[in-house]
Amino acid sequence: MAKVEKGNGINEEVQVVAFKLRKEEYGFNILSVQEIKGLTDITRVPFTPDFIKGVINLRGSVLPVIDLKKRLGLQDTSYTESTRIVVVKIDDISVGMIVDAVTEVLSIDASHIDTAKSVSDNESTRFINGIGNIDARLIIMLNIDEIVGAPGESK
């Protein structure tokens, strides 16, 4: 079973915030998502890896923002009206993730989530927890821990 949830119950459901990156659909476990906000001014921060887009002002506090496409090694596309920043929180660290569009909140039965290994074996699977399958619609479940990375890694 996938690492997403315990997954031992038969009707275990995972709530997922689904969003688009290019043509594909991805998802974060809703428990990690704090809020979704529109694109605002992003201040570039020098001396950071290129996937760190910069920082934004989130109600008076400063929030780092990751360009998710860059982080996952996807091809860049320009920002549009539907571009959103999904604010996630993991171990006390809040981070914004830029996505092309947020589609909906879904419930996926845990038994419908396959491990990433069954799809691909390459390096980028470290960012992927599993793949949810709802009526042939595939949602790639992301591992936020890996994406945010240890603070040291992103220096």
Contact residues toward other proteins (CB under 8 A) are: 40-41, 43-48, 52, 54-57, 59-64, 92-95, 148, 151-152, 154-155
Q: Which is nearer to other proteins, 133 or 154 (CB)?
A: 154
Distance in Å, CB of 50 to other proteins, minimum: 11
Instruction: Write out the H or E segment, with its range, that includes residue 24.
Output: strand 24-29
The residue ranges of DSSP E strands in 45-148, in sequence order, are 52-58, 61-67, 84-90, 93-99, 101-109, 113-114, 128-134, 137-142
Q: Which is nearer to other proteins, 6 or 151 (CB)?
A: 151
Q: Are 56 and 42 in contact (CB under 8 A)?
A: yes
Distance in Å, CB of 96 to other proteins, minimum: 10
Distance in Å, CB of 60 to other proteins, minimum: 4
Distance in Å, CB of 101 to other proteins, minimum: 24
Q: Which is nearer to other proteins, 96 or 132 (CB)?
A: 96
Q: How many CB atoms lie within 10 A of CB 117?
A: 11
Q: Which is nearer to other proteins, 32 or 133 (CB)?
A: 32
Q: What is the C-alpha to C-alpha distance for residues 84 and 38, in angstroms, rounded to an integer?
A: 5
